[in-house]
Amino acid sequence: MTNQDREESVIVLAQIENTFILINQYREPLHMNITQLPGGGVEEGEKLEDAARREFREEAGFCCGKLHYIGELWPAPWMSNEVTHVFFTNEVSEQLGQRLEAHETIEVSFLPVNDCIERIQKNIYKDAELCYAVLLAQSKELFSL
């Protein structure tokens, strides 16, 4: 199966010192603001890593250095062919400010890694992409607690 057959998106789990960069945005299907990771759809012909840098820049307002690809996730294979590609970085530099689309309102926050893990364990955070990225990175020991 080639990439063209699937709806592809990217997310970035970024660590700055002892915090993760999270975003909070309104999600219409749930009628509420929820906490997620910066990310979005891959444009036609765009490389995955380029898409990750672009979305991270647009939504979080930062540049990132070396990106580590940690895996692809199938969020809802019973109803969708969407694939989410997950990147991890601990090289974040230059706060440039967000470049949001007109319909987007995204709040950026910095949460200590320990608190993020605790909120996932306590089921305060429920977003599949966020939970997968953080728990996979923890399982692979990409960061230390």
* Structure token pair of residue 41: 């759809």
Task: Return all residues near 49 (Cβ < 8 A) that are at least 6 apart.
Answer: 67, 69, 87
Q: Out of 17, 29, 45, 144, point to the residue binding a copy of itself (CB under 8 A).
A: 29
Residues in the chain, overall count: 145
Name the DSSP class of 140: T
Tracing tokens 């997620």 back to the chain, one arrives at 36
Question: What Å distances lie between residue 36 and 2, 3, 4, 72, CA to CA?
Answer: 28, 24, 26, 16
Selected range binding a copy of itself among 11-19, 51-59, 104-112, 134-142, rule: CB under 8 A: 134-142
Q: How far is the CB of 62 from a copy of itself (least distance, A)?
A: 22
Identity of the residue, 19 or 138, whose beta carbon is nearer to a copy of itself in the bound complex: 138
* Binding residue count for a copy of itself, defined by CB under 8 A: 37
Q: Out of 18, 50, 138, 143, point to the residue binding a copy of itself (CB under 8 A).
A: 138
Is residue 27 near a copy of itself by the rule CB under 8 A?
A: yes
How far apart, in whole angstroms, are the C-alpha atoms of residue 123 and residue 47? 33
In the region spanning residues 71 to 110, those forming contacts with a copy of itself, defined by CB under 8 A, are: 71-83
- The residues binding a copy of itself (CB under 8 A) are 1, 27, 29-32, 34, 36, 70-83, 117, 120-121, 123, 126-129, 131-132, 135-136, 138-140
